[in-house]
Structure 1
């Protein structure tokens, strides 16, 4: 049995339990979903482990195959310590470093042996994401990955009532392999929550500041060979301790700023941080008669306006200055 605060209680197959207990998945308990943000706000503490299990359970709830549930559970297994902060450190605009290293990491992990013991080939499951239409879809469509992090962050960080989340989950249906919402009201509800997470959390000045400072720490340490790529595959606390133990004046200063972050405002004047985040625009499919689907923005002025505002917000980037 496995219990999740959002999806409830499930009895799962032995292969899923064995994977959950693997070293590769257990490491994710120490990798925070939002990178270094927990260092400036301890409440921002959702982990890649919670998200990965959630994606697996959502796919299960939507009727996905056991193989797709496995793919969902393992989709973030190669995330480095501090998640996408490493992409900032490496100036990787695609934010996909974990995908680039996934095959090599998995080949050296305990995952292939576990899957093989249950008759699965890890390469068949994990080297062709396009076959898993519930797990991954290009923006602006819905997918289990996108739905879970929206619901999970909304639940933990914005106190969104579980009753509302359950109503949304009950509105989901599958048409031609795509996740579709059967209610315009629920479609508008999800888009609103999605942008709440993106704009009020992802773009929060403290979140951006923590990512910038930790990225500078990692970048400096990599460039001077104080750490290597293998160190990035530690969990957050392990890498944090390794970096702090370097006791380098430049890093000490950055760590002090993380421990005592300044008050920040969004302003282009005297800015100390600038980040341009990956554009995240959501436009879920909605159905009214189960025979045809339409984009939410085609039938909802509310969704269309939210998308327009989010696009403009993303295009501006995030300029942070010290508050006076």
Structure 2
């Protein structure tokens, strides 16, 4: 199915012709006020930014994010970043399951990692001592539609874990942190907290579209994953009357309050120890991933600094010495261990 140039073959000064996934599409304005399209092109070898400067409306009407597009253009660098200027574009088709291996970067590796993570998550759930709570969360994990959604869903549109399987990666990470924190604070209700960790973002399976089309569903735009997650919990609780009413209420509160503060979309602030810990661990894991992703992929401002990060409202310092334990210089983008 793939035709023409691969992303990894794109070099400054070269002509670019081929079939790519239009992963993102944004209409922006330049310094003069003239509109242009910013597009993220992808295939299995990577991603590259592209722009349409001319005939913006005409070419923009031909495709949407998530479509396969045939493009013709020229590659160059701007402030050290490789980009493609698109001169011609035609929509080929929508990306379907048969094309994922060729157009989603690292698809096979990420899918294998997701299946391993789901197995580990099921093992952690298997250690829950409270029988009714264990059966409740297993009901979620064993549902075929939700199971497939967990394997592929991103955790966010772009802020953190915004990649294939990112939701499961984030969920498992929070669950691992719960196990560590409960060793340090044995007064916590570990079973309840672990169930809350597994389910806190379950609404994102329905809130977000597939990672090769990172956008919100209509339901997601109208309701958001917190409300959607609460509705999904209510559906399952109806089939598990053995879960104590107090436990059910505390689980609802954990989902409702896991963003911590009202201005970040939480209907309620945490009012139990378990809800407080879940909020803090969720926030830690999300920010760690966003911070690490920016350090690893941002071209930087020189002298060890990244460019400005809007979410953190600051420049980030990656340093000029070795990173990690392998002694590689910091300017070499560290590959994420899958």
Question: Which structure is higher in strand share?
Answer: 2
Question: Which structure is higher in helix share?
Answer: 1
State the TM-score bracket (shorter-chain normalisation): 0.3 to 0.5
RCO comparison, higher one (Cα < 8 Å, 6+): 1
In the superposition, the TM-score normalised over structure 2's length comes to: 0.34
In the superposition, the TM-score normalised over structure 1's length comes to: 0.35
